[in-house]
Every structure is written in C-alpha cells, then in structure tokens.
Chain A
Amino acid sequence: MSLTLIALGATVAVLLALLVWTLRGSERYIGSRTVSKPLEGSGRTHVSFLPQMRQALRSEDAEFLMRAGFSGLRNRVRRERRRVALLYLSALRQDFEELMRISRIIAGLSPEIGVGQELERLRLRTSFLWRYRIVWMSLWAGLTPLPQISNLSNLLSGYSVRLEEAMKELGERAAIVAEMVSSPDRRSIHPV
C-alpha cells in the first residue's frame, strides 16, 4: 500500500508541476504575437554568420601557427575558437527552436493537422535535442572537429528560408481574408 502511495504521490507531484509550468508559460503568448512576430528574428540571425565562422574555424591557421613555432599561441587560438564554436552551436539551437515555433504556428493556423506528422516532429525534436547535447559535450571536450558545424548551419539555413517563404505566403493569405471580412458584402466569404 505504501508503494501505491509513493507512486500516486509522485504522479500527483509531476501533474501539479506540469500544471504550474503550462499555466505560467502560456502567459508569454497572450497578445497578438502569433502571426505578426514570427518573421522577426527568425532563424537567420545566427546562421547568417556562417561565412565568418567558416573562416574562423579553418584549420590552416592552426597549421601555420604550428609551423611557425607558436605552439602556445596555437593552443590559445584553439581554445578561443572552441569557445566561439560552442557559442555558435548554442545560437544555432536557438535558431532551431525559433524555427520550431514557426512550424507550430503554421500548424495552429491550419484548420486540420496530421496527428502522424505532429508526432513525428515531436520525436524528431526530442532526437535533435538529445543529439545536440552529445555534440555540445563532445565539442566542449575537444573531441569534435570544428568545421562540421558549417554543415549543420547549412541545414538550418535552408530550413529557415523555406519556413519564411511559407510564413510570407500565409501572411499574404491572411491579409486577403482580413480584407474580405472587412468588406461590406460578407456573404461572399466561405470560411472553412
């Protein structure tokens, strides 16, 4: 019986914690943020620094410093670059979260959504976060080659552009609908 009490007590504690978290979190969304804001600062801010990052992460500099005999300076440069790479990786994750937010808004605007598609996205997001943690730790420990980040950036960049196109398209459609709604003859509207 005490086992039942512990199990139910833990379940209730988790439920109450989730309840407080969800109810407190939803305050952020009150207002007209859903449609107008997503394009601002979506995704591209950090990814757009990719050329500079590529330049900074090139291995030629380290090789040159090694050949020139500046091993101390080379180590310092590597440390600094790793720190920058970690910051960049964190920023990419922010971009990813922002893009996820936009994709959720697209789902919110749609009159029907696919359960399979949404579950798949949830699974992929969880998977991304898990892998991101591993990559972050391996990068932090100096086990991962820095130039690999550029591949990740390319992916995020492409993802961002497509989503922005979709949001722009949605915005244009929303404006047309709003115009139709405000017109005197509303009988011509056939909302779903």
Chain B
Amino acid sequence: MAGLTKYVQWVWGISVAVQAAVCVVLFLRGNFRRVPFFTAYLMSNVCQAVALYVVYYQFGYGSRTAALIAWWSQCIPQLLRVLAISEVLRLVLKPYRGIWGLGWRVLTFAFSVVFSVSLIGSWHELSWAVLVADRGFHLAFGVAVVACLLLAHYYLIPIHPVYKALLGGFCFYSCTVVLANTIGGILFLHGNANFQMIWQLVTMGAFVAVLAVWAVTLRTPLPEPTQREVSPETARTYWEMSPRINERLRLLNEQLDRFWKPEATH
C-alpha cells in the first residue's frame, strides 16, 4: 500500500466503515426495500473498496494495472449512482404523474447536455480525459439533480426530509468532486507533489460527511409510496385551463406594456 499516505488510508477506512454502517441501518429499518438501487450503490462502493485494497496490495498502488482496474471498476458504482438518484426522484415525483413525465425528461436532457459539453476537447490524453470525464459526470449529475429539485419547487411538491438528505448529499458530493478535480488538475500542472493526496482527502472527506448525514437520517423509516387517485377529468381540466391561463397572462403582459406607452395614457 505504499503510495497512499497514512491520512488517506485512515479516511478511506472510515469511509468504508460508515458505508457499511449505512447499509446496516438500511437493512435494520427495512428501508432497502424502498430504495434498492441506493442500497446496491452503497454495497457496490464497499465491494469496490475491498477489491481495490486487494489490487493495490497485489500490484502496488502506483502500477498501471492498478490504475486501470481502479478507474474501470468505478463504472459500476457510477451507473448505480445514476439509478439511485433516479429512484429517489421517482419516489418524490411519482405521485404527480404529469410532473414526473416532465421531470425525467429534464433529468435526461440536463445530464446529456452538460456531460457532452464538459467532454469537449478532453480526448488529447487518456489520463487527462479520465479526469475531465469524471468531472463532467459529476457536474452533469449536480445540474440534473438541481434542475429536478427546481421543478419540484416550482410545482410546490413536498419532499420528505430523508429524500432531501439523499438528494442534497448526492449533489453536495458531486459539487465537491468537480472542484477537487479542477484544483487537483491545476496542482498537477504546477508540479505539486501532494496533488493526489489533497484530491483524495477532499473527495473522501466530503463523502464521509455525506455518509454521516445519511446514516443519521436513514434511521427514520421511509414513507410509504403515495398513490394519488387521479381521474381523467383532471387531465381534461388541465388541457382546458392551461391555454386560457396562458392567454390571460399574455393579456396581462400587454396591459402592463400599456402602462408606460404614451398612446395608452389617454
């Protein structure tokens, strides 16, 4: 394990221990049934940590093989992370079918656009591309989560405190990774010898903080998924009312225009 500083090893160990604790809480409270993808995400993280420990022990921390295995193994937790966040957003927005229909489109669109834009010009060098791709993924992830939260806020949709903690934790961690990757890249370009340790400590430290919040909040049982009984009539009312409301708003804006146009003053 030479190459990993003592501090990093400690934080890594704490991170794995807290993740295991959150998993235990999820199983003890029965919350794993409500959020199976979230549970799978945490378990995959623990499994990945154990596997990486073995790989680093076997091949050495600085070897190319270990680096390749470490980055490729990252794909599974990242995929599960996307599924976990979609799962939580679905639990929040599902009772509002129309809004959820809009929400998943917003999520997909925001993620695709930001991720694509952030990857532009990153394929000159493989190691740099990995860093930029990871940063782009987290940035896209954060933007998509905030976009969906804005949607929920706009439509006055209540969010249970536990789901708030999960969504907030994911977004906070992603924002930290974006900054850490950027600062880490700058330190690397300036030839700072400690850039890797700083990057590892910042990202893992933020993750441990998020995990601690999750461990506390997930002690509360998650709410039963609410099934709102909806009638086709509500859709009819919406389709009747919506154009009228927009027309009225348009008139209102025209009226406001006349306030300061000279011809309307008489």
A interface with B by C-beta (< 8 Å):
1-2, 4-5, 8-9, 11-12, 15-16, 18-19, 21-23, 25-26, 29-31, 34, 96, 101, 103-115, 117-118, 120-122, 124-125, 127-128, 131-132, 134-135, 138-139, 143-145, 148, 151-152, 155-156, 158-159, 162-163, 166, 169-170, 173, 176-178, 181, 189, 191-192
Residue of A nearest to B118 (CB): A8
Among A12, A122, A189: residue with most chain B CB under 10 A? A12
- Of B143, B235, B245, the residue contacting A121 (CB under 8 A) is B245
CB distance from B123 to the nearest CB of A (A): 17
Q: A132-B256, A151-B258 are in contact. Are A114 and B172 (CB under 8 A)?
A: no
28 A/B residue pairs, CB under 8 Å, sorted by A = A1-B186, A8-B135, A16-B175, A22-B152, A23-B159, A25-B153, A26-B157, A26-B158, A26-B159, A26-B164, A106-B237, A107-B238, A110-B237, A112-B235, A124-B250, A124-B253, A128-B253, A128-B256, A134-B260, A155-B251, A155-B252, A159-B245, A162-B245, A177-B229, A177-B231, A178-B229, A191-B229, A192-B231
In whole angstroms, how far apart are the Cα atoms of A109 and B238 in the complex?
Answer: 8
Instruction: Given A8-B178, A124-B253, A169-B237, verify A155-B260 contact (CB < 8 Å).
Output: no
In terms of DSSP, what is the predominant structure of the interface of chain B?
A: helix
Which residues on B sit within 8 Å (CB–CB) of A15?
A: 142-143, 146, 171, 175
**Total inter-chain residue pairs, C-beta < 8 Å:** 211
CA distance A9 to B168 in the complex (A): 18
In the assembled complex, the Cα of A145 lies from the Cα of B259 at a distance in Å of 8
Question: Which B residues touch A127, using CB under 8 A?
Answer: 253
The docked-state distance in angstroms from the alpha carbon of A108 to that of B175 is 30
Return chain B residues, CB-CB under 8 Å to A144. 259-260, 265
A131/B253 in contact, CB under 8 A: yes
Q: Write out the residue numbers on chain B whose beta carbons fall within 8 Å of the beta carbon of A139.
A: 259
B236-266 CB contact bits vs A (8 Å, 1 = yes)? 0111111111101111110111111000110
**Who on chain B is nearest to A30 by CB?**
B158
Chain A residues contacting B229 (CB-CB under 8 Å) are: 177-178, 181, 189, 191
We find that the number of chain B residues with CB closer than 8 angstroms to chain A is 67
Distance between A126 CB and nearest chain B CB, rounded to angstroms: 10
Q: Tell me whether A158 and B248 are in contact in the complex, defined as CB-CB below 8 angstroms, given that A1-B185, A26-B158 are known contacts.
A: yes
Interface string of B169-184 (1 = CB under 8 A from A): 0011001001100110
